[in-house]
Amino acid sequence: MNDTDNKPGKRELILRAAVKVFSSKGYHNTRMEEIAAAAGIGKGTIYEYFSSKLQLFQAMLEGSLQYYFELLNQESFKMMPLQERLRILIEAHCRFSLEKKDLARTIFCSHMLDDELHEWAMGMHREKQKQALDFLEQSLAQDEVRQDVDLLLIGLILASALTGLGAVITMDGWEVDPARTADQLSQALINGIKKQAEGAE
């Protein structure tokens, strides 16, 4: 195999450089030429792949969150008990916020300062709510959730809980144990919605 086969393409180089520069300087203080320099390419090359800094930022974020999307779509994940799926999802969210704190902080702060970013971030939040709702509807279909539960409300609570966790970890410097936090939060959420076994009080 030729060594060049293992080298990332230019788009991947740009995205990796974007993570580093956006994380260290924030969205508004980052210039495209700085990302180009970090990637070892000319500024014009970036525009062959991304039409604007906003589009590059969005692509970077979507790439960073790809793990979540892949996880939610795995058949093995879908077949797990509800509490285990919740636990895995919460722990993954905590680990991302801890391990990529600078990037997560940049993501969290940027949408509060820029109207265009805010609109896009709200769309991402609505997508997170939709995923949470789909997540719960699947559990209802599997007879894991009580029929009287307001799934839309619970989905909103779950999405907001994940957003809140990310905020206190990245903005307040809250050092959490991802596994312990996931165990406690998933247990708290599940206690209110899980269908009890017949005969249980």
* Whole-structure pTM value: 0.70
Mean pLDDT (the chain) is 80
- Looking at the fold, whether 75 and 110 belong to one and the same domain comes out as yes
pLDDT of residue 172: 80
pLDDT of residue 41: 94
How many structural domains does the chain have? Answer: 2
- Looking at the fold, whether 70 and 156 belong to one and the same domain comes out as yes
* DSSP assignment string, 133-185: HHHHHHHHHTT-B-TT--HHHHHHHHHHHHHHHHHHHHTS-----HHHHHHHH
pLDDT of residue 51: 93
| Radius of gyration, alpha carbons of the chain | 20
- Looking at the fold, whether 108 and 153 belong to one and the same domain comes out as yes
Query: Which residue stretches of the chain have pLDDT < 50?
Result: 1-7
Q: Where does residue 90 rank: exposed (0-12), middle (13-18), buried (19+ CB within 10 A)?
A: buried
Contact 103, 26 (CB under 8 A): no
pLDDT of residue 6: 42
- Looking at the fold, whether 168 and 85 belong to one and the same domain comes out as yes
Give one word for 50, left, alpha or beta, with left for phi > 0 and alpha for psi -120 to 50: beta
CATH number where 77 lies: 1.10.357.10
- Looking at the fold, whether 48 and 80 belong to one and the same domain comes out as no
pLDDT of residue 39: 94
pLDDT of residue 2: 39
Tokens of 152: 């839309």
Contact 166, 143 (CB under 8 A): no
Encode pLDDT of 87-129 as tens digits. 998 898 888 888 888 777 777 766 555 666 777 777 776 776 6
d(C-alpha 16, C-alpha 103), whole Å: 12
Structural domain for 159, as ranges: 65-193
